[in-house]
Amino acid sequence: MKIIISNSSNEPIYEQISSQIKELILKGELKEGELLPSIRGLAKELQISVITTKRAYDELEKEGFIETVQGKGSYVAAQNKELMREKKLKIIEEKLSELVKESKILGLRYEEIEEMLKILFQEV
Amino acid sequence: MKYILEVNELRKEFKDFTLDNISFNLEPGYIMGFIGPNGAGKSTTIKLIMNLLKKNSGEIKVFGKDHIKYEKEIKDRIGFVYDQNYYYEDLTINQMKSIVASFYSRWDDAQFNYYLKEFNLNPKSKIKTLSKGMKMKFSLAVALSHHADLIIMDEPTSGLDPVFRREVLDILYDIIQDENKSIFFSTHITTDLEKIADYITFINNGKIVFSKSKDEIMESYAIVKGGLELLDGDTRNKFIGLREGKFGFEGLTDDIAGLKNTFGDKILIERASLEDIMVYSVRG
Amino acid sequence: MLAILKKDLILLFTNKRDILFMIFYIPFLIFIIDSYEPKWLYLAIIVSYTYITSLSSFYHDIDGKSKYILNSLPMTRDRIVLYKYISIFVYFFVTLVYVGAYLWIINATGLKIVDYFNLEMALKAIPIIMIFTSIVFPSYLLFEPRIAQIIHMVIFLSFFIGMVNLGSLGDKSFIKMIGIFQGNRMLILAIILYLASLIISIKLYRKKDL
């Protein structure tokens, strides 16, 4: 399991953690029922405050990605296939809107983007 | 217990300095950093907690118990590291250890020897022959070898090189894996705290400026930079501390949203480091 | 408590200043107190050694920088003071042995005829030591170290002068004339004074800012 946080990014650290874990779950790298590192163990490994990791886990739990059992730890929650797909779509949508924003700033037109997409779909 | 350390309206009066009714709390399982400029009252506070100084008024509870009424049983569970070496200089590490060990009910010789090895300390050496860093390491080894639940440190890392400071932080991280233990340490090396602290209490001139979670602090303060033309009587007030240079100004604010509203993208907003917060709060 | 006593004894023989004191004070006293009754010399040495070592250990732990360590350990301030008051008796016995051995050697070498052990004087020494420490210990807690030191010197000097006086005039001396050495009077006075001093010291130390 890989989690890399940036101290200089503008994104708060707890968000970095929760989004990285979210991705791992959605990609299937973290399987359903898998035990996550303890909030303290994670804080030690990443050299951050335990309040931060706790916050990240609280977020993940609120959004239904993980479940915490008192005394045992946090587990990857059973992911409804439909829900998973929806969540993944949401992420793609977010990435696309970012892309659109950046392109507009650069002054690119829709057609230029379409061209780029066509090439990428063939290559990747 | 709800709090492992409770300080309530603590007051101590000296001739030319007063610790002015300060209050803060620390829950078990967390690290609290205690920051402030020199002379702000950090050492005084710690000495009051350890009953080395007598308070004028206020309440101090450790492990939920009054710190004077239950002094002995509380101190049995406190590991302390002070900013200077106060141990007997003429004794050897072993001699000093056997004195100290006899007082603690949960002294762990194996653990002490482990730390001696880790820190490269020779048990037969006299304390006066140790360098400042080694003396501190010795203090730390003692503090960590009696299963203390609360570690109190007064500027333990000032005068130590960054390599060793990291080692100390690693050790602190290990201790805090046990969610029943807490660490309270005063320092003016704020970079150490930016990583490890869960809570930060900032004291200045005998008064608590704030006592909050580190995340909250880092999120609510920001450094704002912009051109001098943006400053006027009103806007100056929005800053906690301001530095006006030749080419622009730099200031600390806790009203990030407000300033964004006022200046939009004419200003540059950056994360404030703990040091920035401390310096601007003190200097103004 | 044993640990503290052990520490005090170790410090006595490891600290440079203390070592010098231990070695050279006896000859110094022998030189100064020229008495035709060796028992007064013995008394002076026993009292001086016990008094000085007790005071030095008191001062170190109560006012020296190690007070921060002692007071941070799980031990109440009352205990710390109590141990100091008890430790003078430990120092007394250590003094008897050490001084005894030292003087025995001097005797054996024939440099000077000295009494290396005198039960009567040893017993007389106890109340004297107790009275001195009763006065000096609380003064370190009540006054600034400088003033306390003056009190200590005044007491010690008067003891000295008294010893020299006794040594030279023997039975005709002023002290013999006061008759404080009569029977148990002095011991009882010493015990009462000592206990009162202990209580005062405990009360003072409880309130002290270190």
β strands within B82-170, DSSP E: 150-154
- Is the pLDDT confidence value at B238 over 50? yes
Between the alpha carbon of residue A48 and those of residues A21, B168, B181, the distances in Å are: 16, 15, 17
* B117 lies within 8 A of chain A by CB: no
Helices (H) and strands (E) in chain A, counts: 5, 2
Instruction: Give the model's confidence band at B83: pLDDT under 50 very low, under 70 low, under 90 confident, else very high.
Output: confident
Measured between alpha carbons, how far is C39 from C116 in angstroms, rounded to an integer? 9
Looking at residue C177, what is its pLDDT? Answer: 47
Q: Which residues of B touch C203 (CB under 8 A)?
A: none
Looking at residue B105, what is its pLDDT? Answer: 95
Range with the lowest mean pLDDT among B180-189, B260-269, C86-95, C168-177?
A: C168-177
Q: Which residues of B touch C3 (CB under 8 A)?
A: 98-99, 102-103
Q: Which residues of B touch A52 (CB under 8 A)?
A: 215
Residues 6+ apart with CB under 8 A from C46: C92, C95, C96, C99, C121, C122, C125
Do B103 and C74 lie within an 8 Å CB cutoff? yes
CA–CA min distance B154, chain C (Å): 12
Please report, for chain A, the start and end positions of each structural domain, with discontinuous segments joined by +: 13-76, 81-123
Q: Per residue in C121-153, pLDDT tens?
A: 888 888 889 999 999 999 999 888 889 889 998
Measured between alpha carbons, how far is B75 from B96 in angstroms, rounded to an integer? 18
Q: What count of Cα atoms within 13 Å lies in the side-chain half-sphere of residue C84?
A: 33
Query: Using an 8 Å Cβ cutoff, are B165 and B196 in contact?
Result: no
Q: What average pLDDT does range C104-126 have in this prediction?
A: 80
Higher pLDDT, A84 or A119: A119
Residue in B closest to A9 by C-alpha: B271
Q: Which residues of B touch C66 (CB under 8 A)?
A: 86-88
Looking at residue C180, what is its pLDDT? Answer: 57
Backbone angles phi, psi at B254, to 5 degrees: -115, 10
CA–CA min distance B259, chain A (Å): 17
Q: What is the CA radius of gyration of chain A?
A: 18
Can you give the length of chain A in residues? Answer: 124
Instruction: Give the model's confidence band at C193: pLDDT under 50 very low, under 70 low, under 90 confident, else very high.
Output: very high
Please report, for chain C, the start and end positions of each structural domain, with discontinuous segments joined by +: 2-207
Q: Which residues of B touch C73 (CB under 8 A)?
A: 75, 100, 103-104
Measured between alpha carbons, how far is C39 from C176 in angstroms, rounded to an integer? 14
The minimal CB distance from B179 to the residues A13, A40, A49 is found for A40
The minimal CB distance from C15 to the residues B84, B90, B99 is found for B90
Residues 6+ apart with CB under 8 A from C19: C13
In this structure, the number of other CB atoms found within 10 A of the CB of residue C199 comes to 12
What topology does CATH give the domain B5-216?
A: Rossmann fold (3.40.50)
- Is the pLDDT confidence value at B258 over 70? yes
Looking at residue C176, what is its pLDDT? Answer: 57
- Is the pLDDT confidence value at A30 over 70? yes
Measured between alpha carbons, how far is A46 from C183 in angstroms, rounded to an integer? 78
Q: Do the bridges between strand B199-204 and strand B207-213 make them parallel or antiparallel, or are there none, so unpaired?
A: antiparallel
CATH classification number, A13-76, choose in 1.10.443.10, 3.30.70.100, 1.10.3720.10, 1.10.10.10: 1.10.10.10
Query: Using an 8 Å Cβ cutoff, are A76 and A33 in contact?
Result: yes
Q: Per residue in B111-154, pLDDT tens?
A: 999 999 999 999 999 999 999 889 999 999 999 999 999 999 99
Please report, for chain B, the start and end positions of each structural domain, with discontinuous segments joined by +: 5-216, 221-283
Chains within contact range of chain C (3+ C-beta pairs < 8 Å): B
Task: Provide the whole-model pTM.
Answer: 0.85
* 3-state SS assignment for residue C42: helix
* B30 lies within 8 A of chain A by CB: yes
Selection from C3-7, C11-15, C49-53 with the highest mean pLDDT: C49-53
Higher pLDDT, C63 or B8: B8
- Is the pLDDT confidence value at C179 over 60? no
Task: Work out the angle at residue C173's Cα, subtended by the Cα atoms of residues C172 and C174, and round it to the nearest 5 degrees.
Answer: 125
Q: What average pLDDT does range C174-190 have in this prediction?
A: 66
- Is the pLDDT confidence value at C35 over 70? no
Measured between alpha carbons, how far is B20 from A21 in angstroms, rounded to an integer? 46
Chain C residues with CB under 8 Å of a chain B CB are: 2-4, 6-7, 10-11, 14-15, 65-69, 71-76, 207-210
Looking at residue B102, what is its pLDDT? Answer: 92
Touching pair A, C by Cβ (3+ pairs < 8 Å) = no
Measured between alpha carbons, how far is B176 from A6 in angstroms, rounded to an integer? 23
Looking at residue C65, what is its pLDDT? Answer: 84
Looking at residue B18, what is its pLDDT? Answer: 95
Looking at residue A6, what is its pLDDT? Answer: 87
CA dihedral in degrees (B131, B136, B139, B143; nearest 10)?
-160
Looking at residue B35, what is its pLDDT? Answer: 94
* A16 lies within 8 A of chain B by CB: no
Looking at residue C159, what is its pLDDT? Answer: 83
Measured between alpha carbons, how far is B150 from B232 in angstroms, rounded to an integer? 48
Q: Which residues of C touch B105 (CB under 8 A)?
A: 74
The mean of the pLDDT values for chain A is: 87
